[in-house]
Amino acid sequence: MVENIERGRAIRVLLVDDDPETLDILEEILEKEGYEVYTASDGKLAMELFTEAIDLVVTDVLMPHQDGLELVLALRECSPATPVLAISGGGLLYEPHSCLKMAEKLGVSGVLQKDTLFRDIIGKIREILGT
């Protein structure tokens, strides 16, 4: 278990992505590392699940209903200290780095392109959380 020392429990991560396969793989990777994982398929559902007990939000940038950028803005309003890791594969209209640059301008804690996501996510989370 990866522990939140201040709270004496597993670190809680909220994963947000509209691709069910990506969510499943990320959930498996993080649970194997000892994180407590919650999942949502878009920003709107993520905000319904979000509580102050979440230690990190990992969100795709491009999603239907409420995208990751809207989610970051909503999180900054209700919980400005919660770290956010933005991920993106781009999409049909955008390059991944363009989407991630927009997320950086909104003050996310880190970014990852989806082409390296599964390999690099644990290291990036450790870097963001200082664990």
pLDDT of residue 1: 72
Per-residue pLDDT, 9: 84
Digitized pLDDT (tens) for each residue of the chain, 131 residues in all: 777 766 678 999 999 999 999 999 999 999 999 999 999 999 999 999 999 899 999 999 988 888 889 999 999 999 999 999 999 876 545 565 687 888 999 999 999 988 888 999 999 999 999 98
Please report the domains of the chain, with CATH numbers, ordered by start residue. 3-129 (3.40.50.2300)
Within 13 A of 114's CA, how many CA atoms are on the CB side?
A: 19
Please answer whether residues 86 and 57 qualify as being in contact, where contact means their C-beta atoms are separated by less than 8 angstroms: no
- Give the per-residue pLDDT at 55: 96
The pTM score is 0.91
Residue 60 is predicted with a pLDDT of 93
Cβ pair 18, 41 in contact under 8 A: yes
* Per-residue pLDDT, 5: 65
